[in-house]
Amino acid sequence: MNRLKGKRALITGGTSGIGLETARQFLAEGARVSVTGSNPKTLEAASAALGPDVPIIKADAGDVAAQKRVAEELRQSFGGLDILFVNAGIGEFRPVEAWDETAFDRSFAINVKGPYFLIQALLPLFANPAAIVLNTSINAHIGMPMSSIYAATKAALSSFIRTLSGELIGRGIRVNAVSPGPIATPLHGKIGMDDAAVKGLIAQIPAGRRGDPSEIAKAVVFLASDEAAFTVGSELTIDGGMSTL
């Protein structure tokens, strides 16, 4: 239970779902943790759930200037950083003809641009060694209807795993990713899926169920820990077999 003892970690989108569960598991493994979020209700709930020793940073994940402020707040709180879990993101699912430029730009800002410039802003703070874990998605690898923009943003993160690994490994920074399938988080409700839609989704998963946030969090703990010291540029698929169909 001490795989992350003494390590300083930042989790973006850490106030609900996978991010919040990962924060809990990081704390249980001995890490000092800070999380970001933008929803006042989940920020308050996360503060209550994680306790007073976890700095909660309100930040727009798609705003480049906000990423610099996050880095500065983290510098003041922790002085440096050993682990970054890039988890903040949005999922919008529409047919091709329903997309407009504003929605397109919003998805890429939150899922791609913000994370990229957050990594840039944090570079002076990273220890050697350090670990970055990106939250991608199996949608980057399967042809799911209405996921064109979401899948494209996650494919960009998948590309970052390899390109940033090549660039940052010399600084002792490992970059890896988890690639979840359908997970039982508030996301499915946010995008308007009713019970029938969820059942239809589950029917496509060989394991016969959606994943639990804890199953993703445990994989993130491994990739962030020294146990994964020789794991570089890898994407761990956790989808109950969905992408094998």
pLDDT digits 0-9 by tens, 155-210: 999 999 999 999 999 999 999 999 999 998 766 566 667 788 788 889 889 899 99
Q: Which residues pair with 58 in a beta bridge?
A: 37
- pLDDT for the residue numbered 127: 98
pLDDT computed for residue 87 by the predictor: 98
This prediction's pTM: 0.95
Q: What would the mean pLDDT of 33-37 be, rounded to a whole number?
A: 98
Average pLDDT, the chain: 95
**CA of residue 78 relative to chain centroid, distance:** 20
Which phi and psi angles does 40 have, rounded to 5°?
Answer: -55, -35
Dump pLDDT digits (tens) for 121-141.
999 999 999 999 999 999 999
Percent of the chain topping pLDDT 90: 88
Domains of the chain by range and CATH? 8-237 (3.40.50.720)
C-alpha closest to that of 18 among 176, 182, 203: 182
What's the rounded Cα separation, in Å, for the pair 143 and 226?
35
* Whether 85 contacts 224, CB under 8 Å: yes
Query: Tokens representing 6?
Result: 């003494």
| pLDDT value at residue 189 | 60
Mean pLDDT of the 226-241 span: 97
pLDDT above 70 (res 217)? yes
d(CA 94, CA 191): 10
From first CA to last CA, the distance across the chain in angstroms is: 36
Catalytic residues: 150
Q: Break the chain down into helix, strand, coil percent, rounded to 5.
A: 50, 20, 30
Residue with tokens 């990739």: 223
Cβ atoms of 173 and 132 closer than 8 Å: yes
* Mean per-residue pLDDT, 39-43: 95
Q: Which residue from 176, 170, 154 is spatially nearest to 224, judged by alpha carbons?
A: 176
Residue 150's closest CA among 139, 160, 165? 139
pLDDT band at 36 (very low <50, low <70, confident <90, very high): very high
